[in-house]
């Protein structure tokens, strides 16, 4: 079994009630569902932050594409897609 620790959080009565309904409907405990939700949130937010840091590192190292080049490529792709739909 994985090691775990206890953490106490405060939630609104409404959220607690919703979590209880979800627990009943899924036959899981409120604790299990809360852990799943917190883990998903933390993983998503960390991925965002890590992406930002990677982007800043790329920018600092000069690994960037000028805005004009990106917009020209996007316009080309959009135009090709429009022409493909008209055919």
Q: Which two tokens stand for residue 50?
A: 């890590």
Residue 61 sits in which domain range? Answer: 13-86
Long-range pairs of 25-29 with CB within 8 A, sequence gap ≥ 24: none
Is residue 43 situated within a structural domain? yes
> What is the pTM for the complete model shown?
0.71
Q: Domain count of the chain?
A: 1
Task: Read off the pLDDT of residues 16-37 as tens digits, 9 standing for 90 and up.
Answer: 999 999 999 999 999 999 999 9
Task: Read off the pLDDT of residues 28-63 as tens digits, 9 standing for 90 and up.
Answer: 999 999 999 999 999 999 999 999 999 999 999 999
Q: How many CA atoms lie within 13 A of 65 on its CB side?
A: 7
Is residue 68 situated within a structural domain? yes
């Amino acid at each position: 079994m994985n090691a775990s620790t206890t953490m106490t959080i405060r939630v609104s009565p409404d959220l607690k009630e919703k979590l209880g309904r979800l627990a009943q409907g899924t036959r899981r405990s409120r604790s299990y569902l809360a852990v799943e939700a917190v883990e998903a949130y933390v993983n998503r937010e960390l991925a965002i932050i890590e992406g930002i840091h990677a982007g800043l590192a790329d920018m600092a190292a000069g690994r960037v594409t000028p805005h004009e080049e990106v917009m020209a490529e996007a316009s080309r792709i959009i135009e090709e897609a429009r022409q493909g739909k008209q055919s």
